Amino acid sequence: MLISQILKKSSIVVPLKSTEKDDVIEELIDKLNENGLLTDRDDVLDKVMTREMTRSTGIGQGIAIPHGKSKGVNDLIMAMGIASSEIDFDSIDNKPVSIVILLVSPAGQTGPHIQALAKISRLMLDGDFRQKLQDAQDAEEVYSLLSSKESE
């Protein structure tokens, strides 16, 4: 599974306009909706926010991966945002985030959802890569960095 095949350039936001956790999640969901990838925006928002309330998806090291399963999508989809200023995400390391990766899959789909979460987590272990993403100026640069990293 390649993240660069799931994430569309048009679903990358650099920089994020929102500065609050819930607003960032909604901004990324709205980006997916603008791109015609959602069949039920409100259900996607509800499912991702409900999941977020059970436990924060701020995984540490400046990264958050909000995610959920919803009837509002037909396929595994993703959006990504790079913040120009750090966002409090109630992360496990109690540090703010600047990279937010939203993942949404169809309600009955578990395997690909978990594979994508694992793949994203592995990619983000590389501190140099994270820094390059944080320094990226636009969606094109973020996508190029991701594609290059996956081909290593």
Distance between CA 60 and CA 63 in Å, rounded? 6
Among residues 37, 67, 68, 123, the one annotated as catalytic is 67
Tokens matching residue 144: 């190029």
The yes-or-no answer on residue 67 being catalytic is yes
Distance between CA 78 and CA 82 in Å, rounded? 14
Enumerate residues 6+ apart whose C-beta is below 8 A from 52.
21, 25, 66
Q: Which residues are catalytic?
A: 67
